[in-house]
Amino acid sequence: MPLRGPFFLWNPTEKSTDELEQTFVPVDGVLRRIERDLREQSDLGQVTHFLIIGQRGTGKTTHLALLYERFRADLNSPYCPIFLREEHPGIYGLRGLYERILEQLAQDYGLTAASRALHALRCETEEILALAVAESAMRQLWRDARKRVLLLFDHFNEFVESQLLPDTGDWRLRSLLQLNPPMVLVAASPIALHEMMEPFSDSNYIGRSDELHRRAEQYENAFFQFFLPLYLRPLDGAGVRDLIETRARWDGEEGFWQRHQARIQAITTLTGGNPRLVMALYRLLAEGDIASAADDLRQLLDLLSEYFRDRWKDLPKQEQRVIHALIEIGVETAPGAIAKQARLSPNVTSKLLERLTHSGLIAYRQKGARSRVYALNDRLFSMWYQMRFIKPLGQRLMGLAEALRGSIR
């Protein structure tokens, strides 16, 4: 069946507003919660800032894009939304962030005060004075026009780790965002940034001893318990069906579900409910017969290689060891066997399994009254990892064919 126009699998911000709205499927009420709270707190002195957490492909960028479009289209909105997408070129430290905000306030909203502040910031050689100029302009916008900057910040974790912390701008940003702030931050991250959310103790900090000594305690972290964390978890079977039917309606194919109902379970199993992977396999179903498309699926895995590689790099080293152990074992496994395979202590392994389960990357099944067995939730990722790192070529292709046959059954 022909798809309706370009199929934006990797760049949801390229979609039209109409396509974004009509193909969006709510996940755990996250978008509704943020939009409601933003409107309710629009005139309050103390506000909530949000951190959307989900592995790559779960819809973080789509949520930010929809918030941007909705508040931008609302002429009575108390916000000036600014969307910083995944890449942040040209933003170096807090000064670079403020410069980008002023630039967009001037260009997108025609604010002459922002233009003047931008010029003054660029001319100022003293860092502290430059930051003060930008903060004063944002506070003036809030004081005079009763409009706050709504900063929608994708991959905020990368900015904090590589840009803010070295020049201690994190504390200054927190100060701006606290009492009666001129800006509200809705950030997104593929990892949970545990040092921002958990109290510090040796028992729940997972990391090498040099990392433990290098980092200050979480209580001293500028963003410790600062955000309201909202998780985007993988879709269940009903969510996968809803996503596919919604997309098929957009493509003008009302009978798609009825024709492919027997294969939807295969999609759920192969993708672990990751929306981006569901859409990738939807495209295969829409354009051909996946039951006889082992070669197409191999090409799909190659197409997704960079995506899977980025997901792998997002994981802390200890969590990588657990995932590697699970893939090597290849079947549902008890925590003790995983700890042995990963060469980690049982206590550390238990904590890591809890984190990975919470993120949706792995899942467990209750086995008996008090025991659990764990497995990777995303079989496509497991296939990619095996083909790339573990199995020789013959075993790779045999495993891929078997996985396809088992899924289609």
Who's near 297: CB < 8 A, 6+ residues apart?
284, 290, 400, 404
Residue-level pLDDT at 286: 77
On whether both 277 and 290 belong to a single domain, the answer is yes
Supply the CATH number for residue 164's domain: 3.40.50.300
Summarised one tens digit per residue, pLDDT across range 70-108 is: 999 998 899 999 999 866 667 778 888 999 999 999 999
Q: Are 402 and 320 in the same domain? A: no
Alpha-carbon distance 182 to 143, whole Å?
8
Give the pTM: 0.77
* Same domain for 345 and 302: no
Confidence of residue 7 (pLDDT cuts 50, 70, 90): confident
Are 79 and 32 contained in the same domain?
A: yes
* 295 compared with 112, residue with greater pLDDT: 112
Query: pLDDT per residue over 265-287, tens digit each?
Result: 766 677 778 898 888 878 777 77
Q: What is the CATH number of the domain that holds 333?
A: 1.10.10.10
| 58, 186: one domain | yes
Q: What is the mean pLDDT of the segment spanning 357-366?
A: 85
**Predicted confidence (pLDDT) at residue 257 exceeds the cutoff of 90:** no
| Domain's final residue, options 184, 213, 231 | 231
In a domain, 150, yes or no: yes
Question: In this structure, are 374 and 404 located in the same domain?
Answer: no
What pLDDT, on a 0 to 100 scale, did the predictor assign at position 299? 65
What per-residue confidence (pLDDT) applies to 355? 85
Element (H, E) at 148: strand 148-153
Q: Per-residue pLDDT averaged across 166-194, rounded?
A: 83
Enter the DSSP assignment of 388: I
Q: Which residues pair with 49 in a beta bridge?
A: 227
Identify whether 285 is part of a domain: yes
Residue 150 shares a structural domain with residue 171: yes
At 406 the pLDDT is 53
- Which pLDDT band holds residue 219 (cuts at 50, 70, 90)? very low
Yes or no: say if 94 and 131 are a contact pair by the CB < 8 Å rule. Answer: yes
For residue 3, being part of any structural domain is answered with: no
Residues 376, 285 share a domain: no
Same domain, 154 and 187: yes
Cα–Cα dist 395/63, whole Å: 40
What total number of domains does the chain contain? 3
SS3 189: strand
Residue 205: the pLDDT is 35
278 token code pair: 């569901």
- Answer with the residue of higher pLDDT: 248 or 378: 248
Helices (H), 124-255: 127-145, 156-159, 169-177, 194-197, 209-214, 237-250
Top pLDDT among 33 and 86 is at 33
Q: Which domain holds residue 81?
A: 28-231
pLDDT, tens digit (0-9, with 9 covering 90-100), for 327-347: 888 888 999 999 999 989 999
Q: Lowest mean pLDDT: which of 152-166, 282-296, 386-400?
A: 386-400
Does residue 325 have a pLDDT over 50?
A: yes
Higher pLDDT, residue 232 or 207: 232
Q: Which of 116-120, 154-158, 302-306 has the lowest mean pLDDT?
A: 302-306
Span 150-176, pLDDT tens digits: 999 998 888 877 655 445 678 888 899
Domain check: are 283 and 323 in the same one? no
pLDDT score, position 148: 93
Reading phi first (left if > 0) and then psi (alpha if -120 to 50, else beta), residue 29 is in left
The residue among 300 and 189 whose pLDDT is bigger is: 189
Residues 187, 163: one domain? yes
Between residues 197 and 206, the one the model is more confident about: 197
Distance CA 192, CA 8 (A): 26
Judge if 302 and 351 occupy the same domain: no
What pLDDT is stored for residue 297 in this prediction?
62
The packing angle between helices 335-342 and 346-359, to 10°, is 110
**Average per-residue pLDDT in the chain?**
81
39-67 pLDDT per residue, tens: 999 888 889 999 999 888 899 999 999 99
Q: Supply the DSSP symbol for 227.
A: E
In a domain, 8, yes or no: no
Nearest to 379 by CA among 395, 402, 351: 402
Task: Please state, in angstroms and rounded to a whole number, the distance separating the CA atoms of residues 104 and 117.
Answer: 12
Residues in the chain: 409
Note the pLDDT of residue 391.
Answer: 57
Single-letter code of the amino acid located at 383: M
Q: E strands along 311-405, which residues?
A: 362-367, 371-376
Q: How far apart are CA 185 and CA 70, in angstroms?
A: 16
